[in-house]
Amino acid sequence: MISEENRRPGGENPPGREGGTKRFFISFLIVFAASAVVFLRHGDNTLSIGYSLICALLTAASESDLRTKRAGNVFPLTILATGAAGAGTLRELLPMLASGLLFFIPLFLVWRLKKGRALGGADVKIISSLAFAVGARRALAALAVAAVSCLCVFAIRRFAKHRAEEKTLPLVPFIAAGTFISMLL
């Protein structure tokens, strides 16, 4: 809620604060629904708790990416910590680390060679941390769903000439949707 001292004269909200309660409620519903589906699919265990936390983090990262076209380092770092907390032994961490590097190295090279025009730095970090936390198979499924859905949305926007001045789409919401779907597999 916006306090009276933060309101502009005439009762207007400051820039970027419009619809904050509505966005929070929608984000809460998305996280709640995704967590409920994860618990129904995987049961009541630490895996479900970790997946639910990742759903919440991806929803927050998506909102940040949609609003500011940036997702802070706190999101991939927390996803990495969630994945590491789910590993019982050092022996389980090694394949997780290999999965993260398997995604990080080629995505980093694409980001570097394309100078950030194809992928953003946050996209590379989030996908790599997801590969570490949920495994290479689920991360690959999430990336495939994200790529296909992003291309479909981009084609529809291009065809409809919607926001012609905007040539990029935030990828994190598509990664989040792909991750939600991959958690059902």
Asked if 127 contacts 103 with a C-beta cutoff of 8 angstroms, the reply is: yes
Asked if 71 contacts 185 with a C-beta cutoff of 8 angstroms, the reply is: no
What per-residue confidence (pLDDT) applies to 1? 42
Asked if 80 contacts 133 with a C-beta cutoff of 8 angstroms, the reply is: yes
Distance, in Å, from the CA atom of 128 to the CA atom of 11, rounded to the nearest integer, reads: 44
Asked if 154 contacts 169 with a C-beta cutoff of 8 angstroms, the reply is: yes
> Which two tokens mark 95?
């394949």
What per-residue confidence (pLDDT) applies to 8? 44
pLDDT tens figures, 85-104: 888 788 889 999 999 999 99
Domain boundaries defined on the chain: 4-182
pLDDT tens figures, 153-162: 888 877 776 5
Q: At what angle do helices 74-86 and 46-68 cross, to 10 degrees?
A: 170
pLDDT tens figures, 14-64: 445 555 677 767 777 787 887 788 788 777 777 788 888 888 899 889 888
Asked if 132 contacts 78 with a C-beta cutoff of 8 angstroms, the reply is: no
Distance, in Å, from the CA atom of 79 to the CA atom of 129, rounded to the nearest integer, reads: 6
> What is residue 166's three-state secondary structure?
coil
Q: What letter represents residue 88's amino acid? A: G
Residue 6 CA: distances (Å) to CA of 1, 3, 10, 16, 23 = 10, 5, 12, 12, 19
Residue 144 CA: distances (Å) to CA of 11, 93, 149 = 45, 25, 8
b/e per residue, 9-32, with b = 16+ CB within 10 A?
A: eeeeeeeeeeeeeeeeeeeeebbe
Average pLDDT over residues 143-150: 92
Higher pLDDT, 124 or 6: 124
Average pLDDT over residues 146-171: 78
Asked if 176 contacts 61 with a C-beta cutoff of 8 angstroms, the reply is: yes
Distance, in Å, from the CA atom of 80 to the CA atom of 98, rounded to the nearest integer, reads: 13
